[in-house]
A and B are shown apart, each in its own frame.
Chain A
Amino acid sequence: MTDQFADKHVLEAEAVNVWYGNFHALRDVGMKIKENKVTALIGPSGCGKSTFLRCFNRMNDLIPGARMQGGISFYGNDIYDKDTDSTEIRSKIGMVFQKPNPFPKSIYENVAFGLKINGYTGNLDEAVERSLVRSALWDEVKDRLRKSAQTLSGGQQQRLCIARALAVEPEVILMDEPASALDPIATLAIEQLIRELSQSVTILIVTHNMQQAARVSDETAFLMVDDNRAGYLVEHGVTDQIFTEPKDERTEAYITGRFS
């Protein structure tokens, strides 16, 4: 019990509902995300994990017809407040996507992009190197920083995207199935990276791979779809507990593979 009080909550979701047009995609999801821990979102496809993830950096704002109800706060501040600029949120809460999406620019320019648009006044070269070191890519690319990012392998591209996100020094990184498009070796590298990064950054990761969630995360949240195809939260707790002694029978059914 003392542990829980010692951990700060970076993000808090309260009664979050999302509609795409008339389709109710997410129903009354509430959750507290602990600082500097890895929290995994698992559940069957279509249960709204990605939708929920995108609420945290207001990426759903970019989808015409998407509507959100409820509250998301970042260190106690409502991020959907009218006076809050979404671009500022996104520089503090970064995102890595399922399919690596490096810009058609050089490796250097990819990492530097976020720094430049956010008006970084320090030494650009050092910052780029720092980010590439943090994402375990520096040794592999230090001699070809000016080469196009498209010349990298899938796993390297994803680590580049992580470096790109790290460069603007966010407090949180949201990861939407970051390894699902990668081969097993690259996947393992990403998982290792996630464990290392969580010492300094809070990570919220969506994954459809339960073993990955068990390997990588400190806490896990399980979502499901109801009869109206709306997603909702079933259970959220410490990873060990979720996977060995789930409190809800639906969680147990999912984990033991009775449905996926």
Chain B
Amino acid sequence: MITSSKLFSRSKFTRSLIGKIFYSLFFAAILTSIGGLTILLFQVFSDGLPWLSLDLLWNYPSRHPEQAGLKSSLMGTLWLMGLTGIFTIPVGLGAAIYLEEYAVKSKLTTIIEVNISNLAGVPSIVYGLLGLALFVQWMALGRSLLAGALTMSLLILPIVILASREAIRAVPLTYRDAAYALGATQWQVIKNVVLPLASPGILTGIILGMSRAIGETAPVIAISALVYMTFIPSSPMDRFTVLPIQIYNWVSRPQDEFRGLAAGGIIILLVVLLSMNTIAVYIRNKYQMRSND
């Protein structure tokens, strides 16, 4: 038995101290995030709650803060989300179905997949510029809801595709096998077996994509270029503005009252987002197929 323990300076105290110091640093990092979020929410709510009222929801924006409201931007948001959904849901779902059910491993498929993940990292303002050049100018749609919706659907396409793919992938092979064994065609299997079972996950993906779209400001500014609007849109070719843009408009004004209005608008935006995400998580937890079932 060799005893050269004299050569090991185990310095129990130092090592334990170092361990404790690092632990506090790591823990402090967590506290910073939690603290940051808490302060942010507290700030927003304390500034904005006094301004929450039905007037805020029903009035048009105005130079007078007491009379200003979100009517035009809320309607604009609703319009935009509706139209965006019309484009994004079929295309996103279709792409996901193709990639999961039909595509074989090939160069083209790899290009498509790499492409989708690259698109997820493109700054949103660049999508706005794309929409500006392609939809507003070249397709001559003008600065309309339609142009905005097409742009937004391209923006959230990667999110919807990714979530739908995961949902489709989670459907166990055995169900497909059973259907094929009964003589079903590929499309019949997809339509009658895969999609119904994957629909909670797909729905979750759509909701998450839409909730991202609701908060997006930059691309909409590039398309609509409208910040002060005192009417509500009545057709997809109309001009429009959305809730985050109105918030931005109010934040940019120096008067304190407009800051408060902005905070009020933020509260409404956060409440909408929270509800959407809660619904999405609820659907995911309650209905989602676990792939190891």
Contact = CB atoms under 8 A, between A and B. Distances in A.
Contact of A120 (B7, B15, B16): B7
Contacts of A149: none
Nearest to A134: B2
Interface in A86-111: 87-88, 91
B12 A171 contact: no
B5 interface: yes
A200 B1 contact: yes
A91 B10 contact: yes
A36 B2 CA distance: 11
A169 B10 contact: no
A35 B8 contact: no
B1 A35 contact: yes
A200 B3 CA distance: 11
A131 to B, nearest CB: 11
A119 B1 contact: no
Interface residues of B, number: 13
A121 B9 contact: yes
Nearest to B16: A85
A88 B8 contact: no
Contacts of B3: 169
A119 B10 CA distance: 6
Contacts of B16: 85
A171 B5 CA distance: 11
A171 B2 CA distance: 8
Contacts of A87: 15
Contacts of B4: 122, 169
A35 B8 CA distance: 22
A49 to B, nearest CB: 25
A209 interface: no
A168 interface: yes
Contacts of A35: 1
Interface string A187-214: 0000000000000110000000000000
Nearest to B5: A169
Contacts of A91: 8, 10
B8 A118 contact: yes
Contacts of B11: 119
Nearest to A199: B1
A85 B12 CA distance: 9
Contacts of A88: 10, 12
Contacts of B12: 85, 88
Interface string B1-34: 1111101111110011000000000000000000
B242 to A, nearest CB: 47
In the A-B complex, the 3 residue pairs with the closest CB atoms? A119-B9, A122-B7, A118-B8
27 contacts: A35-B1, A36-B1, A85-B12, A87-B15, A88-B10, A88-B12, A117-B15, A118-B8, A119-B8, A119-B9, A119-B10, A119-B11, A120-B7, A120-B9, A121-B7, A121-B8, A122-B4, A122-B7, A168-B8, A169-B2, A169-B3, A169-B4, A169-B5, A169-B8, A171-B1, A200-B1, A200-B2
